Structure 1
Amino acid sequence: MVRLALRSGLRWKVSLAIAAVSALVAIALSLVVHNAARVSMLDNSRAVMDDRVQAAQKWYEKSGYLGFGAKLDDQRLPEQLKKEAARGLRATYLGDTGAAGPEVWASVPLRDGRVLSVHAQFKDRAKILGDLDRVLVLGSVSVVLGGIALGVLIGDQLSRRLRKAATAARKLAEGDSEVRVRDAIGGRVRDETDDLARAVDGMAEALQQRLEAERRVTADIAHELRTPVTGLLTAAELLPPGRPTELVRDRAQAMRQLVEDVLEVARLDGFAERAELQEIALAEFVTRRVRVAAPDAQVSVLRDAHVSTDPRRLERIIGNLLANAARHGKPPFEVTVEGRVLRVRDHGPGFPEALLKDGPSRFRTGSKDRAGTGHGLGLTIAAGQARVLGARLTFRNAEPTAEGREGAVAVLWLPESAPTNTGSFPVIEVLD
């Protein structure tokens, strides 16, 4: 089942939320004002007609003439007013309240039993109410637009601070220990973003201290092991020839290589390595190094390039990639040079999922298909040396061929410009 995820910025979410609240408030207030104005106008119309019918009554009883538009026993008088007059009560009646305006009646019974009534339609009230509705609509639209603008302003400020925090956090993840999220977001306002920044900075410092402690312990252990391992290897050379002597020498040599690799990883983790740059022809350099490291590998040059790099570190990367292919993959091994891009491919089971997901890690040899030999240091060292060179190292699995062959592909992208003094951080990509 495929789940679709819609991604929208925090700025627009805040804007829509404020706009929705503003619209609800504006509509509610408009309805309240409209109804209050309407009720007030109708009550005022009733009061006007009541005063008019009383004035007409006084004028008729005093002069015997009808005035103020009054009528006697009007046939159109509503039944409700006839009933109230029969009870001897003065009353008003609200008739049609449509677009033409409220129609109001007022009646009063006279001493002679007749009913005096007045009638009028207040067209100006409908116009006034219509003008009020237009003003309320314009006001509501203005409130909503103002809410959207305010939401954009608030959301943009919060979104900008969060983007700065995310950028700083990514730099921390890439190994830039000097970055602090709180300094990156800046600003004088203190809110939850600052709490998050301080928490991330605290976590980064704790992790950095822990990693530094582990690096130092690893380096100290490897350094302390170097002397006895060297002595063991020297002593193995003095043993009499034979199969047991060869096994001892092989194991001692393997242990010495492991110690050297651990020391190299510790140096690379300390970000203290510097590249010694030279101008080289990449195709010729790679061809000569591959012939020494893996004579059976096939070298293809699609396009040559001259690069400024550290030959020793580049040779180390090529050697480790070929050694990894020989240890975990299957022949044929292919090395391709295309400009500044160097590819190393084998035709084995491919890289394990853990490496494709998280990148190379020390002392992790991968899945069952690629486990059993090695310590997971070869690709870790290659990635570290690539960082010192300012290069980009990617890992992916090749598409199956017609013969059913797959294979692992490691691609080294050398930079167009020389790395900085501190060495730039590589982007280590893992692709399926």
Structure 2
Amino acid sequence: MKLPAVSLRTRIVAAIVAVTTTATAVMAYTAYQVQADEAVGRFAWSAVRNTAADRKVFLEFAGPESADRLGPDPDWALVFDRPGGGLEVVRSAAGYEGLIPVPDKLTMLRAVRGDLFPPGKGPEQLTSRYTSVPQTGRKVFVVNANLPKDGYHLVEFFDFSRFDDDLTALRWKLVRIALGVSVLGVGAALLIGRRIRRPIAALSTAADELGAGALGTRVPVKGRDEVAALAASFNTMAARLGESIDELHAKDRQQRRFVADVAHDLRTPLASMLATVDSLDHAEPATRTRAAEILGTQTRRLAKLVEDLLEIARFDAGKADLRVAPVDLADLVRDTAEVVGTEAAVTATGDVTVVADPRRVHTVVANLLSNAVRHGAAPVTITLDGTGDDVVVRVADAGPGVPEELLPILFDRFTRGDHARQVTEGSGLGLAIARENVLAHGGSLAVHNDGGAVFTVRLPRGAANA
């Protein structure tokens, strides 16, 4: 059978009440036992002491008047224990209400005879036992004092019922105290449960609001306990979730813009190619030749765009393959400048050897040089610094530099220096691909203006630095 759901507050209250009640009951029981044992010990000691004093009085006054001096409290009896025979009450307290009848005294003494009158006890020794009155069941503490004359004993009967009533009153007093403490425990438990439940309820409400889309939901952090730590963790989670959602929205906007830019950049060469196809049948040879040149140019541009898109897709899928090897960046930069057809002054200091993918580093340098030629101006300089832990490559030109509004987004996809997006040789993906290639090596790519655009590539040495 499935148990009914119990709230956290109820469980906390039940736990506190259980602990409080148990602790109070144990303390009350322990206190009662300690006090009862001490009180019973004092009662027995007082009774034995009283009997010893009465025995002394009995011995000091010989004759019948000695018994009269004992009085009725406590009840007493002069008992003769016949050797091999029975017990006989020679004399007993009489003439007062509440005294135990002689027959009952004899019955009680016979029940404890072996313990109360053990053989071999000297005249100065006392013995005691608990017993009860046969007719009433009243508990009695019996003390025996041996007399010098063989077989004679002074026996005194101390009523234990009044003392037992006091112990009963003590028990009920402790029970009332325990109940009072339990009630206070319940009140304290309710207050504590409310204080604990309040921040947890706030967390639950905040979680519902966060789940409903309120990403700015936060809860106050009060104190330094576990609930406060939970609230802080919730706020951290909510902040990270908000950041993740913002990043997803940004990625979504970037994806939509990417699709639109791809469609635009594909449409431009395709439209040019479609417009040129009709010119291939023109009667003039010069017109046909020009049409063929345009088709070739746009086809190469389309192929380059497709190649760049595939490269971007590989980076997005995390499938960019790095085939690393020791690379002398000075030689690689000079070869790249020659391939691109750019005149650039190359200077190197220190050890500029890194462990990297030569093809991808070549792509980075080629894109930076092409960008310097297309948007900058001569002279183009390339400076390599291998004196630190990383190798730094700086490509600078003497052009107008990067417009300030483009600096934050220069490495985004399809970012161009021409705002009108007129037909240009670039696809707007070169710098984005260059940055992805540098990041794949664990490096960084940055740009700033200093008499022209200055691109700074920082590459770790990799295995060559180990």
The TM-score, its normalising length taken from structure 1, stands at 0.49
The TM-score, its normalising length taken from structure 2, stands at 0.46
Who wins on radius of gyration, i.e. which is larger? Answer: 2
Considering Cα pairs closer than 8 Å and 6+ residues apart, tell me whether 1 or 2 has the greater RCO. Answer: 1
